[in-house]
């Protein structure tokens, strides 16, 4: 474990379902998220994009090509246009499972109906396009569902059991916007390569509270996690699907594992 920080309890490591239970089912569909909740995931990861008519939908790519039967750029399409497409059947054409595009509001409903605490790690994609409208709509929705922690409350503290929602981004600008508008909402700075500033200062880019390196970076540079933890940061790693990577993350003191295979990772953790 990193100096100055106690080793993390294996049973306390969080398992976050990346795009739902997405190895088994089409990513970002209600079915994939319901499955992850049934499997016992501690939380759900999703990517959000703003449609041409200002709705947040859970879609990873810039276009709908890979994950639907249509063509087009998400940000140039209306929710009505996206709703005409099938976002499920691409995954296993031999056993098609038609599914509608999932809105963030529908995902928040699904979490509200889960009957237990389910965390949400929401990633803003291409947030520069709409000059802050993505973040504004995101915070408006979270507020509507009572998910915005109040400044100074336990939820808004650094306590991992605090806010059930955190906002992640590769974009420093997007994290800054969230931080300015909702200072108590935890944010995760996603990184794919080492940045020289990390480890030497307490502050992460965008004012983030949590660092989110990719597993390839962690494999290549395990010292990074120790350095981040020494600097007082919590570390969430994506996308951790291989048993050896789960073990590596446990050794390094990673707090949350973001995985396409929540059931398998939970089993490995003995849960």
Q: Which of 33, 238 has the CB closer to ligand G3P? A: 238
Task: With contacts defined by CB under 5 A, name the span among 48-56, 87-95, 117-125, 257-265 that binds Ca ion.
Answer: 117-125
Question: Which partner in ligand G3P, Ca ion, none is near 258 (CB below 5 to 8 A by kind)?
Answer: ligand G3P
Size of site (CB under 5 A) for Ca ion: 2
The CA dihedral of 156, 157, 158, 159, to the nearest 10 degrees, is -100
Inter-residue contact 155 to 178 (CB < 8 Å): no
The alpha-carbon radius of gyration of the chain (Å, integer) is 18
Name the residue with the smallest CB distance to ligand G3P: 238
Q: If binding is defined by CB under 6 A, does position 27 make contact with ligand G3P?
A: no
With CB under 6 A as the contact rule, the residue among 39, 42, 47, 137 that binds ligand G3P is 47
Dihedral sign for Cα atoms in the order 189, 194, 195, 198: positive
Nearest distance, CB of residue 154 and Ca ion, angstroms: 27
Interaction mask 62-101, ligand G3P, x per CB under 6 A: ----------------------------------------
Helices 223-230 and 243-252 pack at an angle, to 10 degrees, of: 30
Told to judge if 233 belongs to the known catalytic residues of this protein, a careful annotator would answer no
Task: Dig out the tokens for 199 from the structure.
Answer: 């480890």
Residue in the structure block whose two tokens are 């944010």: 187
Residue in the structure block whose two tokens are 């080793």: 7
Q: Which residues bind ligand G3P (CB under 6 A)?
A: 18, 45, 47, 60, 123, 168, 190, 212, 238, 258
């Amino acid at each position: 474990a990193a100096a100055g920080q106690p080793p993390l309890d294996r049973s306390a490591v969080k398992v976050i379902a990346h795009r739902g239970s997405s190895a088994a089912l089409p990513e970002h569909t209600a079915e994939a998220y319901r499955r992850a909740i049934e499997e016992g995931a501690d939380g759900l990861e999703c990517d959000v994009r703003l449609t041409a008519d200002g709705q947040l939908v859970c879609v990873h790519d810039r276009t709908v090509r890979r994950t639907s039967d249509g063509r087009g750029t998400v940000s140039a399409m209306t929710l009505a246009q996206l709703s005409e497409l099938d976002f499920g059947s691409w995954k296993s054409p031999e056993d098609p499972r038609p599914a509608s595009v999932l809105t963030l509001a529908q995902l928040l409903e699904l979490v509200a109906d889960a009957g237990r605490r389910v965390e949400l790690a929401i990633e803003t994609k291409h947030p520069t396009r709409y000059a802050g409208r993505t973040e504004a709509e995101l915070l408006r929705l979270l507020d509507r569902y009572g998910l915005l922690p109040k400044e100074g409350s336990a939820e808004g503290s650094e306590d991992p059991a605090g806010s059930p929602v955190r906002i992640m981004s590769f974009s420093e600008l997007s994290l800054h916007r969230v931080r300015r508008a909702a200072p108590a909402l935890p944010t995760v700075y996603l990184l794919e390569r080492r940045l020289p500033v990390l480890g030497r200062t307490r502050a992460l880019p965008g004012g983030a509270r949590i660092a989110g390196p990719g597993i390839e970076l962690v494999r290549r540079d395990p010292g990074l996690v120790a350095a981040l933890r020494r600097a007082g940061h919590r570390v969430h790693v994506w996308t951790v699907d291989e048993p050896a990577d789960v073990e590596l993350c446990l050794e390094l003191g990673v707090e949350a594992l973001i995985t396409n295979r929540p059931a398998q990772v939970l089993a490995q953790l003995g849960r």
